[in-house]
Structure 1
Amino acid sequence: MRLGVATLLLWLCTAPLAAAQDLHYPARPQPNQATGQLVIHGALDLVHVRPLLAAFHRRYPGIELTYRNLDTLPLHERFLAAPDEVDVLISSAMPWQYRLANDGHAQPLDAAVAAAWPDWARWRQELFAFTFEPVVMVVRRELIDRFGRPESHADLLTLLQRHGTALAGRVVTYDPSRSGAGYTYAIEESRLSPRYWDLVAALGQAEASLVDTTGEMLAGLAEGRYWLGYNLLGSYAHRVVERDPALEMVIPDDYALVTQRLALIPRRAPHPRSARRFLEYLIGLEGQRVIAEQTALGAIHPALDGPGTADRLRATHGEALRPLALGPGLLATLDDLKRQALLARWRREFSRGGEAGE
């Protein structure tokens, strides 16, 4: 497999680089309570991670906790440069997290909760998915009132083919050449759907705007510049849609990709005991309940089946949900030759749609 610096930069740059944001919880030692230090680096926004960290610190007040919020690229590069400075590594860049574990950078979690974790959500006992985040569409009321609400990829394709001219400039999605998330979704959809390339052409026909992040899509949708956003990260979209009556979130009923945050304990973690406590909490019932009740990330724990859980989503969307498989197939997204071939076809089909719409 050929891997290059260009792949690293293009796959991981899913958002404009931002200054690191830290959260710090000083130790408050209690009698007969665990003490120590814990350093976590995560590509997970503070609004989502703060409830988890606060609950963990209440459980273990004697552990001094530092969380550094980093974009996926600086998080990965910083770890490779200093693999002994962090105790837990969390990232949504699934192929790179898998590669770190596969290359021997992760240590196993020898605990009952790890052994009982669902097979589809872990690799060995070294890499753990702890969230369940569908990839969604977001539509404005103006589109629904005029054209109806698309419930599936098939509906979306029909909508764009019939009304591409009327929707010109009103549709937004990822640019797979600049967005790691967009590129990953393109690979998965091209495998899942025989009509995927027709959909790419229809996006071109509608002169869809191509952006780098879910945040950019949500901003344009909230402002009314776009009427339809395609392939947004549902955990981020949920919070915006919940507060804006002009927007609706659609989990497609034919298929919906599901991405996950992956956590690992580095082999050279400076505080392994604290790291193990945190990871056990993260995939344990207590931490997963916090995810379900206080975030939009989606809890995986099989004992939880209420709102905010994978089981509830499966109950309402069934086999349409397609989690990205946690296994060697993830490494295919890091192959330069495959990447170049897919992007060349994506550009060709998108341009073909644009020419057809002229």
Structure 2
Amino acid sequence: MLAIAINGSGGPNVLTPIETEKPVPASGEVLVKVAAAGVNGPDISQREGRYAPPRDASPLPGLEVSGIVEVVGSNVAAFGPGDAVVALTNGGGYAEYVTAPAGQVLPKPESWSWIEAATIPETFFTIQQTLVERAGLAADKTVLIHGGSGGLGTTAIQMTKLFGGTAIATVSTEEKAAYARQMGADAAINYREEDFVERTLALTNGKGADIIVDIIAGSYANRNLKAAAPGGHILQLAIREGAKSEINMGLILMKALTISGSTLRPKSAADKTRYASALKQIVWPAIANRRIRPPRIRTFPLAAAADAHRAMEAPDHYGKIVLVTEFGVSL
């Protein structure tokens, strides 16, 4: 099969098309013939050498796919050959075939295309794990979402609205602001033109955000403390601006704030199975009745994964990027 390997650590040029053997599903796994594979921030971090895969995971990049089940391993009853699915993989999604634990596989939503469906697993599993389960997303919560026009950001916006909460997104351009509002944001703050702390406080009558979803860190860390409501919860999901920050611990103390960090990939199979079950109950019906909508998508052929990464790292990027296999083109 064709797959994409990471040849050393560095820029997009280290992503190398290779010919390799199809994987064989172990007990409890399914083999998926990949139609499309989503591109995500953790893939870029892995390529740069900053996010090593777990020891038992594939060293190939790619954490989410859509496709058709080709083979099931032993002890798999929920799926069979020919089933249309989406899957959160443990790596190896940038390929024509990939294995995934059956508990991380869900039926492909009928109303979404193969390309649209490939954008679901990584971001929705992450937001279920963090915003919903860990931070207690509810109808009375105001959520400040940094990177509000990206894949993770728009998923957080849509989940916030699905639960009845208020979503405030930060973005870098008016075009991205319009997109965030289109995806359901109640307000969009262009951080190049407005201070997101002052604007968040103004939008919440001085209270601040109950939950903050942050992928930036660096200079944002202390500002998030100022923008948070008393008893607020800050979810640190990435550190694009750097891991080191100087913060005012007094704000954490006096506001009784919670700061939690989390990455999805090292979570146990049991945890990921639980997230999948929750998504099937909550999100799949919302997709069917169009309360959850597909993001803006750009596509690239699987062999052009390096170009896809360049596009994702460009300043004008927003929405999701998806790699399409020859099989996916034929569907």
TM-score between both structures, scaled by the size of structure 1 = 0.28
The structure whose Rg is larger is 1
The structure whose residues are more often helix, as a share, is: 1
TM-score between both structures, scaled by the size of structure 2 = 0.30
The structure whose residues are more often strand, as a share, is: 2
